[in-house]
Homo-oligomer: A and B are copies of this chain.
Amino acid sequence: MARIAIDLHGGDFGPSVLIPACLHYFRAHPEHHGVLFGDQNVCKPLTHFCPTNIEWIDTKDIAELAHKPAQLMRRDSFSSIETAFKALRDGQVDALVSAEHTGVLLVLVAKYGELHSALNRPVLAAWLPTLTGTAIMLDLGASFTANQQQLLSYAAIGTALVPISEENPRLSLLNVGAEYFKGPEALRLAHATLQGWSNINYRGFIEASDIFNGKTDVIVCDGFTGNSIIKASTGALDLTFALLKARLERGLLKPLLAWWLKRQLKTVLKKLDPRLANGALVTGSNLLVVKSHGNANDRAFTSAIERAVCALALDSTGEIRRKLDKLDEKIPLDRA
């Protein structure tokens, strides 16, 4: 049984989308327990037919929370997200799912969790759809730049997230070219070190055009680039489908065939859209935190809850700690 904390006030839509997602998930999974943090004045009207494996914690929703994340460090708060973090720190829940801004989650992980000594910030990791399945990509924006040590810690975290059943995960470093002499120095240094790592199938540099074709299981990059890649890919998908839809609607075969075709498109879109493969892990601390997209619908938010349950089952937090411990032993890290 997993005890999953849900912050009901994060994201663009808040309780009106997140409560139905939770009801749906925990009704279908009576073996798990949901602990929902939110302002009962807002949430109660939305909570008919609540299953017995859901528990409610009344909190104050503090709306101005989303502004400057650094201010969160300096004051105590009883918002849904901070109350949930306290419960996570105290072991009352096993994992936390929130659609709050990344910046807020990073600050609260630092405030309530213990960061691994190999890191100076948490690392954001997510699963992307590929031609043959999925690939893990990190960092997705917890840091903006990445030096050699950071890239190596991302590599350790990424390989920890591949299920142990898949031996020797294929790992690649994102670069502007595949040749060994290409790219910034940090990448070339990390490349040289990774070539000496055992128990991984290090594939060298990968260009961004190869992210989605299933050539690799783990893609390591700096957070600014990773964040931009995810967003640009969803933007390119949106444009593709907008143009395709416009073209089909203009065609000869309206209306029935066009309707059928749009359904086909939607099916493919669902398989592809990174927003629906929802649920990024905020890794690197002793806390298991899953970040949902802010604009996730109830279906997508359910994926984020599933991600948390799955990470608990695989003991991802423990796996990551063990890999980072090894990293600590192997290389004297130059930490800020």
**Residues on A facing B (Cβ under 8 Å):** 68, 103, 129-131, 141, 144-145, 174, 176, 181-184, 207-213, 221-225, 227-240, 242-244, 247-248, 251, 261, 264-265, 267-268, 271-272
Within the complex, the shortest CB–CB distance from A105 to chain B, in Å, comes to 14
Q: Are A267 and B238 in contact (CB under 8 A)?
A: no
Is the pair B242, A131 in contact by a Cβ cutoff of 8 Å? yes
Q: List the number of copies, as a whole number.
A: 2
Given A184-B145, A224-B184, A240-B272, also A235-B209 (CB < 8 A): yes
User: A243 CA to B269 CA in the complex, in Å?
Assistant: 9
Q: Other than A213-B238, A244-B268, give 12 A-B pairs with Cβ distance below 8 A.
A: A144-B183, A176-B228, A183-B224, A207-B231, A208-B231, A210-B235, A212-B239, A222-B224, A229-B229, A232-B232, A236-B237, A244-B265
Pair B232/A211 contact, Cβ less than 8 Å: yes
4 nearest interchain CB pairs? A208-B231, A208-B232, A209-B231, A233-B236
Cα–Cα, bound, A174→B224 (Å): 10
Given A231-B208, A247-B268, do A240 and B237 touch, yes or no (CB 8 Å)? yes
Contact of A264 among B182, B223, B247 (CB under 8 A): B247
Contact in complex: B224, A243 (CB < 8 Å) = no
Which residues on the B side are within 8 Å of A68 (C-beta)? 181
Decide: B208 and A229 in contact? CB cutoff 8 A.
Answer: yes
